[in-house]
Amino acid sequence: MSSIFSPPPPSLDHALLLLSSGQTLKVRAIELYPAEQLAKIAGLRAQAAQKMGGVSTGLGFIGSPAWAVGAGAVLGVLEAALSESSRKQALPMIKYAEELVMSLRATGQVFGIENIKHIEHPDPSVWAASTVAIKRITENGSWGRQIHTDTEVTTNFIHSGDDFLRVQTADGLINVRWSGVIGYVAPSHAQPTNARLASGAAIND
């Protein structure tokens, strides 16, 4: 009887992306955005879509993925296409949503792969991370004294939903179109145990 062992798989401290171009990227960190602000933007766009009643913008119907990419470029088209009542109700929502989108870009935070939840799945929509900060709350107590209380504030971050991801590689931060990714390997810490051990299994005869 003999035992043959294949060498253990190399440990990956990064995610591996295979692009349709044939290029391979080693991703060590990914930029995510505040979930609360993204939810606010989505809510405004949904309300605007309801007010519009399915008006087409040339980039697709409002609320569609295409609209999310190019809303700021079609406000003039919408102003010409909408009735006066719809314009008064919907356009302020659209403009405010786009202002939030512009400010959102400055609130992104780059998280190391090891700090992103659900990174084992090749689906950016489920990736999430969080930060915890200490916030001091000051209240007026008796006799005019101020009472200071420190509390933890957690901020949740998720993917924006855009087709482009901003990722950290050895060459710096780059934008990657997710629809151009044809292969994905999760970092070692996120892979199931049986997957990590598969290539190190023993063969007995």
Residue 4 lies in a domain: no
Residues 118 and 86: their CA atoms lie apart, in Å, by 41
Residue 21 lies in a domain: yes
pLDDT for the residue 17: 95
Residue 5 lies in a domain: no
H helix intervals, 10-155 = 35-52, 65-70, 75-81, 84-104
pLDDT for the residue 166: 93
Count of domains forming the chain: 1
Q: What digits encode the pLDDT tens for the residues 37-65? A: 888 888 887 777 777 665 544 434 334 33
pLDDT for the residue 168: 95
pLDDT for the residue 47: 78
Residue 196 lies in a domain: no
pLDDT for the residue 43: 82
What token pair was written down for 145? 């004294």
Residue 7 lies in a domain: no
Residue 1 lies in a domain: no
- The residue ranking higher by pLDDT, 144 or 54, is 144
Residue 198 lies in a domain: no
Residue 195 lies in a domain: no
**Domain enclosing residue 105, as ranges:** 14-188
- How many other CB atoms are there within 10 angstroms of residue 83's CB atom? 10
Contact 184, 18 (CB under 8 A): yes
Q: What digits encode the pLDDT tens for the residues 193-204? A: 554 433 333 333
The neighbouring-strand residues paired with 140 are: 146
